[in-house]
Amino acid sequence: MAPRVPNLRATGDGKYHPLQRRRDGELWPAAATLQLSRQKFMTRKKGRAAVGKTAALFFPFDLFGSAGTSKGAELLADAFREMLADNQRERLATRADAYAGKVRVQELRLDTLVAYQKWRESARLAVRRAWQRQEFVLWVTGNHLGVLPLYEELGTRAADTLVVQFDAHLDIYNLSDCTPELSHGNFLLHATEPLPAIINLGTRELLLRHDHVRRYYRQAFPADRLTIDPEPALRTLAQACEAASGVFLDIDCDVFDPAFFPAVANPLPFGLDPPLFLRLLNAAWSKKVMGVAISEFDPGRDRNDQSLALLVWLLEYLLLRRYEGFGTYA
Contact 295, 142 (CB under 8 A): yes
For residue 40, give every residue at least 6 positions away whose Cβ sits within 8 Å of its Cβ, in sequence order, or none: 93
Q: What is the pLDDT of residue 293?
A: 98
Those residues of the chain that have pLDDT short of 50 are 1-47, 329-330
Any bridge partners for residue 203, and if so which?
222
Q: What is the pLDDT of residue 49?
A: 58
In degrees and rounded to multiples of 5, residue 138 shows phi and psi of -105, 110
Q: What is the pLDDT of residue 326?
A: 65
Residue 5 belongs to some domain of the structure: no
Q: What is the pLDDT of residue 159?
A: 85
Residue 43 belongs to some domain of the structure: no
CATH of the domain at 105: 3.40.800.10
Residue 11 belongs to some domain of the structure: no
Q: What is the pLDDT of residue 4?
A: 39
Residue 247 belongs to some domain of the structure: yes
Q: What is the pLDDT of residue 3?
A: 41
How remote is the C-alpha of 7 from its chain's centroid? 30
- Give, as one character, the DSSP assignment of residue 303: S
Give the DSSP per-residue string, 226-257.
HHH--HHHHHHHHHHHHH-SEEEEEEEGGGB-
pLDDT in tens, 241-273: 999 999 999 999 999 999 999 999 999 999 999
Residue 260 belongs to some domain of the structure: yes
- The parent domain of residue 110 ranges over 50-172+204-323
Residue 330 belongs to some domain of the structure: no
pLDDT in tens, 196-236: 999 999 999 999 999 999 999 999 999 999 999 999 999 99
Residue 135 belongs to some domain of the structure: yes
| Tally of structural domains, the chain | 1
Q: What is the pLDDT of residue 48?
A: 52
Residue 228 belongs to some domain of the structure: yes
Q: What is the pLDDT of residue 47?
A: 46
Q: What is the pLDDT of residue 63?
A: 79
Element holding 274 (H helix, E strand):
helix 274-284
